[in-house]
Amino acid sequence: MMEEIQQSVEKRSFPPSVTPECSVLVLGSLPGDESLRQVQYYAHPRNVFWKIMGELLEFDFSLPYEERLRLLNRGGVGLWDVVASGVRPGSLDQHITRERPNDIAALLERFPGIITVCCNGTASYKYLKRYFPELFLREFPSIIQMPSTSPAAARLSYDQKLRAYGEVILPLLKGGVE
């Protein structure tokens, strides 16, 4: 009974965290249960997103959430999710159903300085391609499928994930965070 109720509950993404300084947009799929509970992107304690971004942009990943978001944006990185809402028991992307996309194309129009979209994992890339195939036909922004920072994606080590994000993101940023 509880599982039936959980399956029928629609989950929603957060508003985008993007500023005109952003040249990179990191797209997740849909926030997991811990992120939804805390109303924070990448809130699961074993998700390495904030640790990676803190290391790349030289800020303490244990800072309060609003400060991390501010430093991330100031460093040139924005956040959003491809899926605006969907039904999903638990946090695994493979269980998302009845999904509806966020308007990624409109966001990119509003922020023309975004030259690279990094899909955090396979699901965000798959949904972006499904709902916005026209974005893949353009020269800009370039769209790159990145390794998932989720604890469910354990096939790569932290160092491998850090290296992958660093190789893509660091050359695009405007000098990091002051």
Per-residue burial over 155-165, b = 16 or more CB atoms within 10 Å of its CB, e = otherwise: eeeeeebbebb
**What residue type is assigned to position 105 of the chain?**
A
**149 contacts: CB under 8 Å, gap ≥ 6:** 42, 47, 48, 49, 52, 120, 121, 161
Residue 47 among the catalytic residues: yes
Q: Can you tell me the distance from the alpha carbon of 38 to that of 132, in angstroms, rounded to the nearest whole number?
A: 29
**What residue type is assigned to position 24 of the chain?**
V
Distance of CA 129 to the CA centre of its chain: 15
Per the residue annotation, which of 47, 73, 102, 120 is the catalytic one? 47
Q: Can you tell me the distance from the alpha carbon of 64 to that of 59, in angstroms, rounded to the nearest whole number?
A: 11
**What residue type is assigned to position 94 of the chain?**
Q
Among candidate residues 25, 46, 22, the one with its CA nearest the CA of residue 119: 25
The structure tokens listed for 174 are 């405007």
Which are the catalytic amino acids? 47
